[in-house]
Amino acid sequence: MASKRDIIRVRQSLANEVAQQFLPLEDTANAMAAQAAALVVSLVVGHNEAALPPTAGLDALNHVSEAARLATQARAHVAQAHVALRALPAEFGLDFSQPECPPDFTAVTPLRAV
């Protein structure tokens, strides 16, 4: 049977590994959503500036628009996962926070002058 110290060490290792893998995922999700949205804008603006017929490139625009929608949806899921993951250390019995995670300012009690 593993000792309590061993279990805590394994849990800390798991938390660190998840954080190391999650932060790049978050960056990628943000970049993908931004890039897809920028491409939609470029296609629409370019289509207008080139005075193309209304249906020219419509299929491609629809596919890129759907990709942008899905990328934005994926980004939202990653953000929701971030919130859920922030609660795990407390559930694991670990009392620490990753410095990469900004504090939850809504949970902070403001200082008062005495």
Mean pLDDT across the stretch 29-34?
97
At 101, which amino acid appears?
A: C
Question: Token match 């590994």: residue?
Answer: 17
For 75-99, what is each residue's pLDDT tens digit?
A: 999 999 999 988 887 777 776 554 5
* Model confidence at 8: pLDDT above 80: yes
Per domain, the residue ranges of the chain are 4-92
Query: What pLDDT is attached to residue 40?
Result: 98
Provide the pLDDT for residue 29: 97
Supply angle C-alpha 36, 41, 44, rounded to 5.
Answer: 125
Give 48's pLDDT tier (boundaries 50, 70, 90): very high
d(CA 108, CA 99): 16
